[in-house]
């Protein structure tokens, strides 16, 4: 059996800066990870508990109510029409699917999988788990004559917050279709646009009514604070979703029934989504101003839960500068070689901690 050699888990390397930040008299402000800190809406918690006494196995495909709620949420929130509820498949969060999708779709040693030049580390790990070859490329010109098995898109991006426009998405889809390449778009920050309106790869403006070869991955971790629930779904090309469903049935990749019920409620609650957006928007204003006043340039960051910041020095020096002020941030190198002079700063901290960070940056 061939052993898969994976890179070290990036956040394990932050032990030193974490210790320095924790030594600050006011305690650490941890802006290094995008984990929600705000409460789960009561209606979602009630839904989770309401079916906690069901002893039987849940269905891998999810309840009809959940799949219908996902379709309706995509229509209301993002103007996405034409999705069949049969083509919605719940997943155990989105990270699980990102890690295993190349394998589930049959990628192997003879295949190339394209990931963004700056990308959350799990994209690369998923390709390595499949035994395929990773190619970091934001431009199709960089791919050249090769025919990738898959292209990953991530808009809004983690870490940069960059939003890909309709024309960019159309070009990728058209290019991929000419080569029989599957396009998968990770859209877990789609509802969190600030200076731009993110567009889904599922939008008819992108694919002209033809979903062949297209998948989109969605998550409720950020929009509904359900990171601990592991609540996500994938949808798009009906044939690809059917393939994923069959494999996941055999592999036992099933979202727990109480989580399915919670997802159904969360997908119908636009008021809770709006309230959470407002929390993040307010934190973003405070933190962005404090960073710019301290000499940082904010690149991209027009959407999502992060500020992609630089002051033109190596990322390790910037991480250390923040740690001396009791603030922990993620080095840009976690996301690829092109991040060598940036840090990723999360908005996922309480108002009190965000304000504490702003005060420290001003001192």
Query: Is 229 in contact with 36 (CB distance < 8 Å)?
Result: no
Average pLDDT, the chain: 95
- In this prediction, residue 2 carries a pLDDT of 65
| Residue 284, pLDDT above cutoff 60 | yes
Distance CA 262, CA 48 (A): 5
Identical fold for domains 12-39+271-362 and 42-268, yes or no, is no
Q: What is the dotted CATH code of the domain comprising 12-39+271-362?
A: 3.90.1150.10
- In this prediction, residue 255 carries a pLDDT of 96
Distance CA 272, CA 4 (A): 42
Query: Could you tell me the residue ranges of all domains in the chain?
Result: 12-39+271-362, 42-268
- Tell me which residue of 173, 133, 134, 131 sits closest to 153, measured CA to CA: 173
Distance CA 169, CA 163 (A): 10
Q: What is the dotted CATH code of the domain comprising 42-268?
A: 3.40.640.10
pLDDT in tens, 75-97: 999 999 989 999 999 999 999 99
Q: What are the residue ranges of helices labelled H in the chain? A: 15-22, 42-50, 64-78, 95-104, 121-130, 140-143, 166-179, 204-207, 238-251, 257-268, 270-293, 315-324, 351-362
| Residue 150, pLDDT above cutoff 70 | yes
The model's pTM = 0.93
Distance CA 79, CA 98 (A): 24
Greater confidence, 13 or 31? 31
């Amino acid at each position: 059996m061939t052993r898969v050699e994976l890179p070290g888990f990036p956040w394990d390397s932050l032990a030193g800066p974490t210790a320095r930040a924790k030594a600050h008299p006011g305690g650490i402000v941890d802006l290094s990870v995008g984990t929600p800190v705000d409460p789960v809406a009561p209606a979602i918690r009630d839904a989770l508990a309401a079916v906690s006494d069901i002893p039987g196995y849940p269905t891998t495909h999810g309840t009809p109510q959940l799949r219908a709620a996902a379709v309706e949420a995509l229509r209301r929130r993002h103007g996405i029409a034409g999705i069949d509820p049969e083509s919605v498949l719940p997943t155990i969060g989105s990270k699980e699917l990102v890690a295993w999708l190349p394998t589930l779709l049959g990628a192997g040693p003879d295949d190339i999988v394209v990931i963004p030049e700056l990308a959350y580390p799990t994209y690369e790990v998923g390709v390595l788990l499949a035994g395929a070859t990773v190619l970091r490329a934001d431009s199709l010109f960089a791919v050249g004559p090769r025919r990738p098995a898959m292209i990953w898109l991530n808009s809004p991006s983690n870490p940069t917050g960059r939003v890909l426009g309709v024309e960019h998405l159309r070009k990728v889809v058209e290019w991929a279709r000419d080569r029989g390449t599957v396009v998968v778009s990770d859209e877990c920050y789609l509802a969190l646009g600030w200076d731009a309106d993110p567009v889904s790869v599922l939008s008819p403006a992108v694919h002209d009514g033809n979903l062949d070869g297209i998948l989109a991955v969605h998550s409720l971790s950020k929009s509904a604070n359900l990171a601990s629930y592991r609540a996500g779904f994938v949808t798009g090309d009906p044939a690809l979703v059917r393939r994923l469903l069959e494999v996941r049935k055999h592999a036992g990749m099933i979202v727990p029934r109480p989580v399915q019920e919670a997802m159904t409620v969360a997908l119908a609650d636009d008021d809770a989504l709006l309230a959470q957006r407002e929390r993040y928007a307010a934190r973003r204003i405070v933190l962005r101003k404090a960073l710019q006043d301290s000499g940082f340039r904010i690149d991209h960051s027009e959407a999502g839960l992060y500020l992609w910041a630089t002051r033109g020095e190596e990322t390790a020096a910037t991480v250390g500068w923040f740690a001396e002020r009791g603030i922990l941030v993620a080095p840009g190198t976690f996301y690829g070689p092109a991040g060598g002079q940036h840090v990723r700063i999360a908005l996922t901290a309480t108002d009190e901690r965000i304000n504490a960070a702003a005060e420290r940056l001003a001192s």
